[in-house]
Amino acid sequence: MAPLLRNIRIPAGSTLGVEDYRAFLTTACGLLEKFPHYMPEAEDINCLELAHLVPDVPESVIAIYLGINDAVCNKGLVSPFLIRHGHHNVFAFDPAVWSGGTDVPPGTIEAKGVLNDFTPPNETWPRAWTYVMVEDSKRSAESLWAERGYIDMIPAKFEDFTMMSDPRRSLLCAFVDGHVFDHPVNASRDYLKAARDRGQKLASSFKVPEGLAGETAGLVPVVLNRGEKLFIARPDFGAAEHCWSNLHPDNQEWAVVNENSAVPLNLLIKKPAVSSAFSAGLIPVTGSADMTTDWFFRGQRVSRSPILQGAIKG
């Protein structure tokens, strides 16, 4: 395997050292290389992204191979414990109408207040705008499009996870918002009933790391077999919270999970055009806008800047 040529920046609060991060990334690289979806011969360990989402929890480290980040996104993921989060549509408003903080449209919350390092999707979206997420599930996208001061929406992606690894070597339990099973995509996957039954049977045998108690509370456990898929999407376009644990006493190695994601076209085509007062120079959002749309259960503890940036930024 090629040597790691980049310098590892240890995030504040981490109990891991440079060699710990190097060893995890090397292991993850070896696992990803087993699948033709990732790591062509022209690429090596230096194309991978490495992040540590909650630095004082060693198990929340994650390695990411990003193959494409455009209208669609493809990733290979390796993480002992993917922390609980959801992808929220974010709505931009004129700060002269809604100034932010507590002055936001009813049923919403300012994104900057709940996301560490909140970042607009690209440099053409002014930081001075007021960016909000839905807090009250009764608020629909349509109602916010009609709200005074509305400028535009940054759509959150839907994700489709595929279990790539052999569960005889690595069991993984996903914990998801129960509404995802109402989505037509998951409703058409007959094998998910058995996957949910396995989840109910095995969930208690998966570890939740110290310091993350409550991370899986209220979510439905699902244990996928190799090749089985789970769509992380709600029919109402709301944020489907999810996490996973790959921490099982019988595991011999970490699991690889494939992610295909895209914004929901059936929502996007209904979105109204941006007012001419704000549209000049505004570049529409393409690809993953995770630094804008991702909400974390423990948002104030999350370190969202990668330790190592991948070959493709995402």
* 44 and 141 share one domain: no
Whether residues 192 and 238 share a domain: the answer is yes
**Do residue 95 and residue 242 come from a single domain?**
no
Q: CA 307, 25, 301 angle in degrees (round to 5)? A: 40
Residue 219 lies in a domain: yes
Same domain for 174 and 235, yes or no, is: yes
Residues with Cβ within 8 Å of 166's Cβ and at least 6 positions away in sequence, in order, are 226
**AA letter at 9:** R
In our burial notation (b when 16+ CB lie closer than 10 A, e otherwise), range 223-237 reads bbeeebbbbbbbeeb
Residue range(s) defining the domain that contains residue 211: 18-86+158-262
Q: Do 106 and 45 lie in a common domain? A: no
Instruction: Examine the domain organization and report whether 245 and 109 are in the same domain.
Output: no
Q: 10 Å Cβ neighbour count for 80?
A: 21
Give yes or no: residues 190 and 251 share one domain.
yes
Q: Residue 250: name the closest of 167, 126, 150 by CA.
A: 167
The pLDDT value given to residue 127:
94
Q: What is the pTM of this model?
A: 0.94
Do 173 and 256 sit in the same domain of this protein?
yes
Average pLDDT per block of 10 residues along the chain, 314 residues long: 90 96 98 94 95 97 94 94 95 97 96 83 94 92 96 94 98 98 98 98 98 96 98 94 98 98 90 91 78 80 89 72
Which residues, other chains included, contact 257 with Cβ-Cβ below 8 Å and sequence gap of 6+?
76, 77, 78, 161, 162, 163, 164, 172, 244
Count of domains in the chain? 2
- Characterize the bridge pairing of strands 90-93 and 72-78: unpaired
Looking at residue 119, its pLDDT comes to 86
Looking at residue 245, its pLDDT comes to 98
pLDDT at 54: 96
167, 96: one domain: no
DSSP symbols for 247-288 = --TT-SS---EEEEEE--HHHHTTSPPPPHHHHTTPPPP-S-
In a shared domain, residues 237 and 177: yes
What is the pLDDT at residue 70? 83
